[in-house]
Amino acid sequence: MEQKTNPIHIAMFPWLAFGHFNPFIRLSNNLSKDTTIKISFISTPANITRISSTLSSTVQIIPIKFPHVNGLPHGVESTAEMTLHQAELLKKAVDNMKPQIETLLTHLHPHIIFHDFCHQWLPSIATPLNIKTFFFSVVNPTFLAYTVVPSRLVSSQNTPTLEDLKNPPPGFPKTCAAALSAYEARDLLYIFKNFGGPSAYERAVSTMKNSSAILLKTCMEMEAPYIDFFKAQYGKPVLLAGPVVPQPPTGALDQRWADWLDQFPEKSVIYCAFGSESFLEDDQIRELVLGLEMAGLPFLVVLNFPYGEDKVARLKAALPEGFEERVKDRAVVHTGWVPQQHIMAHVSVGCFVSHAGMSSVAEALVSDCPLVLLPQKVDQFLNSKLVSGDMKAAVEVKRDEETGYFGKEDLCTAVKAVTEWVEEEPWKTVRENHRKWRDFLRDADVHENYFKGFVREMKGMVYGDDGMQA
């Protein structure tokens, strides 16, 4: 028995958002280390310009034309530079890519194409070409199992109500994610809305139903009940890539941030950030910074605003009167990009207040930085329930169950629970669990075993049960 000598050719085709590009890039780079695998990465010119330097030199980059859609500015080809309305038009542009993707696949003819949630038309053109389609989820199975499964719609209705979404679908496991508050469920309604084309729910369910297999970037140790439920819902191969965590940062922290952080004692600084596409309203920004001020520790807050807004003006208008003068010696409020991993690795940083995006959560879990979670939208609410509830490795800020409003006292209480080393339960358990999950996620053997298992199963689907030939 010997392995097939011809490499497996895999095409990658992610949705046009940087939160989706990054997992596809990491997967591409990891797979390209295997000399029996060839990777082709498909995207549009403007996006390729921004991501090409992050792809392995062995990955073949294939540009495709971005179709013109009325309402989308010329040269804007990702959600990073769009309003929410324009992001819906972007889905129409992706749908219009179908003819050129069909032509490309006919000539490229990869063994497998990894694709995203909005490519519901892709299996119909790949399957007749004997190309296997793998749906690669960039969100956790906790969210998928609660929201994007066939049993979520149990009647002929096409849109669930707010009350429907406060409760899990039939058969959902009895876990900390088994119910949502009104403000959390209200945010999920967006997934089921129709904007002149299939809803995000319809796209995702159709895509997963018709794909050859589904790949999840997680592990049984973290999400077993949700994985099992999800598998039962779709009844097809579900592969696990393992717990995806970032590589340690390379190089040195920018001098600006190093000089500021070096002023403060070990584990004394609160770092607070909400990613590039999660935004707080002005009244909640005020409660956030006042709560951090109440905690009495130095802090660095990074806030961003929707595309097209004057970020500096918005930030100035949102901050409370007199706040900047009061905290000028121990706080910075910044808008724009910062080197997050380097900042969390700095010896003076002792707490991370996060929006519960899983990339940020993973960066915190592999660090020595205790987590306070303040989720803002969609999958972040389920991520927070997983990490603070099931894993008991973080503290979530208490909020009004109807509106989602939090006050400065709520934020301050959560921060003090992880910065003052409170010995009462459940705070003591949170610290112990953070250390446990940190050690697990840092274990190279865990990652290697999961990834090898995924590659073996993937090759088995191409070559036969064991990926070998006689």
Phi-psi label, residue 138: left if phi above 0, alpha if psi -120 to 50, beta otherwise:
alpha
Taking only the tens place, the pLDDT of each residue in 255-271 is 999 999 999 999 999 99
Closest CA to 350 of 425, 287, 300: 300
The DSSP element (H or E) to which 226 belongs, if any, is helix 220-234
Look at residue 414 in the predicted model and tell me its pLDDT. 93
Look at residue 21 in the predicted model and tell me its pLDDT. 87
pTM (2 decimals)?
0.90
Q: Which CATH number fits the domain 255-441, given the four candidates 3.40.640.10, 1.10.260.40, 3.40.50.2000, 2.115.10.20?
A: 3.40.50.2000
Beta strands 2-3 and 8-13 are: unpaired
Cα 442 to chain centroid, rounded? 19
pLDDT at 470 over 70: no
Lowest mean pLDDT among 113-117, 290-294, 409-413, 416-420: 416-420
- The answer to whether the CB of 270 falls within 8 A of the CB of 351 is yes
User: Given this structure, which CATH class describes domain 2-245+443-464?
Assistant: alpha beta
Please measure the distance between the N-terminal and C-terminal CA atoms of the chain and give it in whole angstroms. Answer: 5
Confidence of residue 62 (pLDDT cuts 50, 70, 90): very high
Taking only the tens place, the pLDDT of each residue in 66-94 is 999 998 888 888 887 877 788 889 999 99
Taking only the tens place, the pLDDT of each residue in 3-43 is 556 789 999 999 998 888 888 999 999 999 999 999 999 99
Closest CA to 401 of 179, 178, 182, 188: 182
**For the chain, where do the domains classified as CATH 3.40.50.2000 start and end?**
2-245+443-464, 255-441
Classify residue 286 as exposed, middle or buried by CB count within 10 Å of its CB (0-12, 13-18, 19+).
middle
Angle at 12 between CA 131 and CA 236, to 5 degrees: 55
Q: Is cis: bond before 339, omega within 30 of 0?
A: no
- The answer to whether the CB of 373 falls within 8 A of the CB of 395 is yes
Look at residue 422 in the predicted model and tell me its pLDDT. 57
How many C-beta neighbours within 10 Å does residue 261 have? 21
Look at residue 426 in the predicted model and tell me its pLDDT. 58
Look at residue 156 in the predicted model and tell me its pLDDT. 42
Q: What is the mean pLDDT of the chain?
A: 90
Closest CA to 441 of 170, 247, 294, 184: 247
